């Protein structure tokens, strides 16, 4: 099942054999392109960008690299190869054959989940649309655009499912995905984090580290789904997703590295001195981290969720890497949850494991995030400084779930509302922090040159040197 680039819509799903579906998607395509030209990185439509494009769905060697103008990017529909005789891997239907069509009773649930997933993809492109103007290097500019075109492709992935499996409802939902916009007062994006503005590159790196990583875990959960086309779509999306998180992880490493160099040159870690020297002090980075981590935690939903229990029971949405668990039915097991109790105390509740699936996924996510922090902290440790990045507690600054609107400090200790209100500005980026970071955001376009607040990457893209002209600006 090769990818057919002779088609107007590149695909490996034999689109040409289903004329009705093909025509419907060909009608959606111009709407997508006009959305891209209006809500995407519009000011760079004429730039030639060194981008990767999928040419097969093999785990290895699926990518082709070349200069492309973004509006000419070949967005298409690529599903991972089917697994022969695949069986339902969890829930009440464990062991029965997976579904190639949507079972009638799960139709509205599946549609809602696919729409929610699909909504985040264009949302992120909208959030990032102006960052190109302040890119710290051509290398970074190219990475931004790579992420943007692939999020556009992820939208295609979900729109394909909506069109192919959900009839008229699906086509209507596909249109709505281009009508809601990030931060729009009347028609915002569905999930909170996707309405937060991303105004500077520190936020972009935090977003690709923390929020794209929610994508990784949600996609891994869907990769287990009994609805096989969804599972296969998500399996291929995950191969693209790895680069997005790489951008965030190495971005924050490079900012940290530069800050450490400045601290060593100055012989001080005093934030004001670091700032005067044009680098971002570590406490400011921590405050950005607190913001994006806590916002992204909400994306996993409530700790105890009857929705999540139903998704699991019905075989719709599993746990990431479901195979590594022993009990795929989760009928008897319970899960211990810390919940807020009266007078600032914490109580333990035991809920059926199925109801706690959001929390199971969130915990796996937190562990994955912690690995990134450990890498950044190694850099700090190696340079002999005492500062360490920390992940706030999953109770901190939540707006969804048991801890929603419960005032706690970053370590998760419940505190009085007054104290919380007074201290919150010191835990999150202040207006002053944001203004300072904004003051550093100037576009650098000389190949190989980096803005003064970020270290160069260790290596370039696809064996190209760091000073390669990754974007030819028009």
Tokens of 127: 């959030």
Binding string, 166-205, against ligand BYC, x = CB under 6 A? -------------------------xx-------------
User: 48 or 241, CB closer to Fe ion?
Assistant: 241
Contact stretch for ligand BYC (CB under 6 A) within 134-142, 245-253, 296-304, 445-453: 296-304
Phi then psi for residue 393, to 5 deg, are -60, 155
Q: Does 212 bind Fe ion (CB under 5 A)?
A: yes
Position of tokens 């064996």? Answer: 463
The whole-angstrom separation of Cα 432 and Cα 430 is 5
Question: Residues 266-269: contacts with CB within 8 Å, 24+ apart?
Answer: 269/385, 269/387
Q: Quick one: what does residue 299 bind among Fe ion, ligand BYC, none, with the CB cut-off 5 to 8 Å set by partner type? A: ligand BYC
- Within 389-467, residue ranges assigned H as helices are 417-427, 431-440
**DSSP letter (8 states) at residue 13:** S
Q: Does 400 bind ligand BYC (CB under 6 A)?
A: yes
User: 101 or 108, CB closer to ligand BYC?
Assistant: 108
Contact stretch for ligand BYC (CB under 6 A) within 87-95, 212-220, 318-326, 459-467: 212-220
Q: Quick one: what does residue 141 bind among Fe ion, ligand BYC, none, with the CB cut-off 5 to 8 Å set by partner type? A: none
Count the neighbouring beta carbons within 10 Å of the beta carbon of residue 264: 13
User: What residues from 143 to 162 belong to the interface with ligand BYC (CB under 6 A)?
Assistant: 151
On whether the CB atoms of residues 93 and 321 are closer than 8 A, the answer is no
Q: Does 299 bind ligand BYC (CB under 6 A)?
A: yes
The whole-angstrom separation of Cα 347 and Cα 208 is 34
As measured in angstroms, the least distance from the Cβ of 257 to Fe ion is: 24
Tokens of 214: 């929610």
- The beta-strand segments (E) located in 262-345 are 334-340
User: 22 or 208, CB closer to ligand BYC?
Assistant: 208
Q: Does 302 bind ligand BYC (CB under 6 A)?
A: yes
On whether the CB atoms of residues 94 and 328 are closer than 8 A, the answer is yes
Tokens of 86: 């695949």
User: 134 or 211, CB closer to ligand BYC?
Assistant: 211
The whole-angstrom separation of Cα 334 and Cα 254 is 42
User: 176 or 469, CB closer to ligand BYC?
Assistant: 176
Contact stretch for Fe ion (CB under 5 A) within 28-36, 80-88, 152-160, 332-340: 152-160
As measured in angstroms, the least distance from the Cβ of 118 to ligand BYC is: 9
Tokens of 408: 């706690």
Tell which residue, 76, 87, 62, has the closest CA to residue 14. Answer: 76
Q: Does 224 bind ligand BYC (CB under 6 A)?
A: no
As measured in angstroms, the least distance from the Cβ of 292 to ligand BYC is: 11
- Who's near 21: CB < 8 A, 6+ residues apart? 15, 163, 164
- Sign of torsion, CA 386 389 392 393? negative
Tokens of 9: 């819509």
As measured in angstroms, the least distance from the Cβ of 134 to Fe ion is: 20
User: What residues from 69 to 128 belong to the interface with ligand BYC (CB under 6 A)?
Assistant: 113, 116-117, 120-121, 124
As measured in angstroms, the least distance from the Cβ of 293 to Fe ion is: 17
On whether the CB atoms of residues 58 and 51 are closer than 8 A, the answer is no
As measured in angstroms, the least distance from the Cβ of 400 to ligand BYC is: 4
As measured in angstroms, the least distance from the Cβ of 457 to Fe ion is: 19
The whole-angstrom separation of Cα 328 and Cα 404 is 30
The whole-angstrom separation of Cα 399 and Cα 378 is 32
- Who's near 54: CB < 8 A, 6+ residues apart? 3, 62, 63, 64, 76, 78, 153, 236, 240
Q: Does 228 bind Fe ion (CB under 5 A)?
A: no
Size of the site for ligand BYC (CB under 6 A): 25
Binding string, 317-336, against ligand BYC, x = CB under 6 A? x-------------------
Q: Is 233 exposed, middle or buried (0-12, 13-18, 19+ CB in 10 A)?
A: buried
Tokens of 325: 């668990």
As measured in angstroms, the least distance from the Cβ of 147 to Fe ion is: 6
Q: Does 303 bind Fe ion (CB under 5 A)?
A: no
User: 242 or 474, CB closer to ligand BYC?
Assistant: 242
Q: Does 244 bind Fe ion (CB under 5 A)?
A: yes
Contacting positions for Fe ion (CB under 5 A) = 121, 151, 154, 212, 215, 241, 244
Contacting positions for ligand BYC (CB under 6 A) = 113, 116-117, 120-121, 124, 151, 191-192, 211-212, 214-215, 218, 298-302, 305, 307-308, 317, 358, 400
């Amino acid at each position: 099942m090769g990818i057919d680039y002779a088609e107007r819509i590149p695909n490996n799903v034999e689109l040409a054999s289903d004329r009705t579906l093909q025509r419907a998607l060909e009608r959606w395509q111009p709407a997508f392109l006009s959305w891209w030209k209006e809500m995407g990185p519009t000011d760079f439509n004429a730039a030639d960008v060194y981008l990767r494009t999928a040419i097969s769905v093999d785990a290895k060697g699926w990518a082709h690299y070349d200069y492309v103008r973004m509006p000419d990017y070949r967005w298409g529909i690529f599903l991972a190869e089917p697994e022969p005789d695949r069986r339902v891997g969890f829930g009440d239907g464990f062991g029965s054959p997976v579904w190639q069509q949507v079972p009638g009773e799960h139709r509205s649930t599946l549609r809602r989940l696919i729409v929610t997933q699909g909504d985040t993809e264009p949302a992120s492109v909208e959030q990032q649309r102006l960052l190109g103007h302040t890119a710290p290097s051509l290398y970074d500019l190219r990475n931004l655009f790579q992420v943007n075109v692939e999020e556009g492709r992820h939208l295609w992935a979900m729109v394909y499912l909506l069109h192919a499996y959900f009839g008229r409802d699906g086509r209507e939902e596909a249109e709505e995905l281009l009508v809601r916009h990030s931060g729009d007062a009347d028609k915002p994006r569905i999930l909170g984090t996707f309405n937060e503005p991303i105004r500077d590159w520190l936020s972009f790196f935090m977003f690709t580290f923390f929020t794209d990583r929610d994508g990784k875990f949600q996609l891994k959960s869907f990769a287990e789904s009994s609805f096989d086309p969804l599972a296969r779509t998500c399996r291929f999306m995950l191969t693209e997703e790895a680069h997005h998180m790489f951008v965030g992880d190495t971005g924050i490493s490079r900012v940290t590295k530069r800050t450490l160099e400045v601290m060593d040159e100055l012989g001080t870690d005093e934030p004001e001195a670091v700032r005067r020297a044009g680098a971002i002090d570590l406490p400011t980075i921590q405050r950005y981290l607190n913001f994006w981590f806590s916002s992204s935690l909400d994306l996993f939903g409530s700790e105890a969720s009857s929705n999540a229990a139903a998704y699991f029971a019905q075989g719709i949405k599993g746990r990431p890497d479901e195979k590594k668990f022993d009990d795929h039915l989760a009928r008897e097991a319970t899960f211990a949850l810390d919940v807020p109790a009266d007078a600032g105390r914490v109580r333990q509740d035991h809920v059926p494991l199925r109801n706690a699936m959001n929390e199971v996924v969130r915990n796996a996510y937190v562990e994955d995030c912690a690995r990134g922090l450990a890498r950044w902290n190694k850099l700090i440790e190696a340079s002999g400084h005492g500062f360490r990045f920390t992940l706030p507690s999953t109770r901190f600054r939540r707006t969804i779930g048991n801890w929603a609107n419960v005032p706690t400090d970053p370590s998760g200790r419940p505190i009085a509302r007054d104290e919380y209100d007074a201290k919150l500005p010191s835990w999150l980026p202040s207006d002053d922090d944001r203004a300072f970071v904004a003051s550093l955001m100037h576009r650098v376009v000389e190949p190989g040159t980096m803005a003064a607040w970020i270290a160069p990457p260790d290596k370039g893209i696809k064996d190209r040197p760091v000073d390669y002209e990754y974007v030819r600006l028009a």
